[in-house]
């Protein structure tokens, strides 16, 4: 005869907690809940001089942030990236192939929920149909001081209001960045 015994697995049993443990069967009181942030956003202006000799081109409509009206997944606050204009163009966008949107994988506006468990991440890409020096300008709107913001490319760069970063953009090559935001 075989007698089964249930092993107690301690953990958080509340599915609304940040550290919910699906395998736990005994609540150990360790549940941690999301911290709510005020609504905020950051505008990223991408600009470049094609082949370093032509007039500057811009993409000013790149906005990411958090809102009490948004979810971490695709919702009505996320706006698809419009197609490029004729002539020389630059396009900055938040990349989301996992959303399987009828509008494509590129979004000019990407909002997430204002509830933080640990950190939130945005994948931001820039591409153009010409080569040249790329400038990224970050403009903060109501961003709380309690947040730590990083841009990851070849190194980790701490983001701040009115920060300008310079890179070089190759023609028809995507430059990928990861933006990480966490609560201090």
Q: Do residue 9 and residue 40 come from a single domain?
A: no
Q: Do residue 76 and residue 56 come from a single domain?
A: yes
- Report helix, strand or coil for 52: helix
Q: Do residue 26 and residue 44 come from a single domain?
A: no
Q: Report the pLDDT value the prediction gives residue 155, as an integer from 0 to 100.
A: 93
Domain that holds residue 179: 35-183
Q: Do residue 40 and residue 24 come from a single domain?
A: no
Q: Do residue 41 and residue 120 come from a single domain?
A: yes
Domains contained in the chain, number: 2
Q: Report the pLDDT value the prediction gives residue 5, as an integer from 0 to 100.
A: 59
User: Over the stretch 129-181, which tens digit does the pLDDT of each residue have?
Assistant: 999 999 999 999 999 999 999 999 999 999 999 999 999 999 999 999 999 99
Q: Do residue 135 and residue 179 come from a single domain?
A: yes
End-to-end CA distance of the chain: 55
Q: Do residue 47 and residue 6 come from a single domain?
A: no
Q: Do residue 150 and residue 171 come from a single domain?
A: yes
99, 73 in Cβ contact below 8 A? yes
Q: Report the pLDDT value the prediction gives residue 3, as an integer from 0 to 100.
A: 54
Please determine, for residue 2, whether its predicted confidence score (pLDDT) is greater than 80. no
45, 62 in Cβ contact below 8 A? yes
- Report helix, strand or coil for 134: strand
Q: Do residue 63 and residue 141 come from a single domain?
A: yes
pTM of the model: 0.87
- Scored b (16 or more CB within 10 A) or e, 101-140 reads eeeebbbbbbbbbbbbbeebebebbbbbebbbebbbebeb
Distance of alpha carbon 180 from the chain centroid: 7
User: Over the stretch 75-122, which tens digit does the pLDDT of each residue have?
Assistant: 999 999 999 989 999 999 999 999 999 999 999 999 999 998 889 999
Q: Do residue 2 and residue 69 come from a single domain?
A: no
Q: Do residue 127 and residue 143 come from a single domain?
A: yes
- Report helix, strand or coil for 116: strand
User: Over the stretch 32-81, which tens digit does the pLDDT of each residue have?
Assistant: 998 888 999 999 999 999 988 888 999 999 999 999 999 999 999 999 99
Q: Do residue 78 and residue 155 come from a single domain?
A: yes
Q: From CA 172, how far away is CA 87, in angstroms rounded? A: 14
């Amino acid at each position: 005869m075989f007698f089964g015994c249930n092993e107690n697995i301690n953990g958080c049993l509340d599915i609304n907690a940040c550290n919910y443990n699906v395998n736990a069967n005994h609540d150990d009181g360790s549940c941690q809940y999301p911290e709510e942030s005020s609504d905020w956003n950051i505008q990223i202006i991408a600009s470049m001089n094609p082949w370093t000799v032509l007039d500057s081109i811009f993409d000013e409509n790149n906005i990411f942030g958090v809102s009490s009206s948004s979810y971490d997944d695709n919702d009505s606050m996320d706006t698809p990236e419009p197609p490029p204009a004729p002539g020389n163009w630059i396009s900055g966008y938040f990349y989301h192939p996992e959303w399987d949107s009828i509008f494509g994988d590129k979004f000019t506006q990407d909002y997430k929920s204002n509830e933080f468990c640990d950190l939130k991440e945005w994948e931001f890409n820039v591409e153009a149909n010409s080569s040249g020096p790329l400038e990224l300008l970050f403009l903060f709107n109501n961003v709380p001081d309690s947040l730590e913001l990083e841009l990851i490319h070849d190194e980790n760069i701490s983001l701040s209001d009115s920060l300008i970063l310079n890179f070089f953009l190759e023609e028809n090559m995507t430059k990928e960045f990861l933006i990480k935001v966490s609560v201090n």
